[in-house]
Structure 1
């Protein structure tokens, strides 16, 4: 795991051109198709897939088990979390229990605005739009536009 963090830090650095960055990630994780990943983006684990033609802007944090479809656009500063703690209840000595992983799926052609936070276990449908700064707490159907905290469907 430590080696992945070193490799990911190098691949995400300013010295690597955006057009070549995906190739470095692909060498460490077979789930990367030809895409564009801006500097400063962190992939927390090699168990991530990125579809062909996807664009991931600067300073994003992508958790373990995330599936990003083809032609997805992700704005700057997006966080996609796949880990959460099980709640041990108010009577427990330590409230935060063991870590549980819940994958996130982002469908083909989706557009995720800057500063969005996506919680574990969410699916964002193909061609869906998520407005900047939203907190996505539930699944978003294909083709819909959502925004807000928490994110809600917008009538368009």
Structure 2
């Protein structure tokens, strides 16, 4: 008796097989950081990012058990953590589809991060005319307590967003945002001050 297997199941099995092969190859060459990175991606960015975990507080507890520093925060589905250098302080809220590149430390206080926000901690220096991409440069990002980052904003390397500040949706933040202010635009600029 023959039966057919759905193509999506086969591709999922092939994906897991390829990941397992990479881990075995990394172990054979003593490349532990690569193996750790693969397990991090499988557990944190695939298994725990699934929409099957409905409650953000439960997801945060599971992420904490997987080694992420996100205790007592809420993380919704589809959030990508490039490394364990992300710190979500108690009370932090990260909506679905956010991205942390993981090249440098990102610290988020008791703040709200809307869906699709990108935290980019790395860039490159400008190289010579033969190849303009120069050496990699990384800088940390800090988001203060009470801050609110609007949907699909991009926060670039070295930025500090002050306590109680608001970043408008779709903004590209290239410089520090003072506490209790509203910034927006591309690049983000001061729109107005807020009462503290």
| TM more than 0.5 | yes
RMSD over aligned Cα atoms: 1.3
Question: How far 1:99 moved relative to its partner?
Answer: 2.0
Q: Which deviations, in whole Å up to 9, do the C-alpha atoms of 1:86-115 show, x marking residues without a partner?
A: 22132xx32212322211100111100001
1:6: which partner in 2? 42
Q: 1:29 touches 1:48 (CA, 8 Å); kept in 2?
A: no
2:117: which partner in 1? 78
1:139 and 2:176 aligned: yes
Residue segments in structure 2 that go unaligned for 5+ positions in a row: 1-36
CA distance in 2, matches of 1:82, 1:106: 13
Larger Rg: 2
Q: Which deviations, in whole Å up to 9, do the C-alpha atoms of 1:128-147 show, x marking residues without a partner?
A: 00011111010001111111
1:66 and 2:102 aligned: no
Q: Any idea what SS the aligned residue of 1:155 has?
A: strand
Question: How far 1:15 moved relative to its partner?
Answer: 1.4
Q: Which has the higher helix share?
A: 2
Number of positions where the alignment pairs a residue of Structure 1 with one of Structure 2: 153
CA distance in 2, matches of 1:105, 1:58: 20
Normalising by structure 2, we get a TM-score of 0.74
CA distance in 2, matches of 1:89, 1:122: 26
Q: 1:29 touches 1:47 (CA, 8 Å); kept in 2?
A: no
Q: 1:135 touches 1:150 (CA, 8 Å); kept in 2?
A: yes
CA distance in 1, matches of 2:67, 2:126: 32
CA distance in 2, matches of 1:109, 1:151: 19
Q: Which deviations, in whole Å up to 9, do the C-alpha atoms of 1:37-88 show, x marking residues without a partner?
A: 1101111111110011111111010122111112x10111100100112221
CA distance in 2, matches of 1:102, 1:28: 25
Question: How far 1:30 moved relative to its partner?
Answer: 4.9
Q: 1:28 touches 1:46 (CA, 8 Å); kept in 2?
A: no
Normalising by structure 1, we get a TM-score of 0.92
Among 99, 124, 128, the alignment partner of 1:89 is 128
Q: 1:57 to 1:84 in 2, by over 3 A?
A: same
1:102 and 2:142 aligned: no
User: Which one has more relative contact order, counting CA pairs under 8 Å at least 6 apart?
Assistant: 1
Residue segments in structure 1 that go unaligned for 5+ positions in a row: none
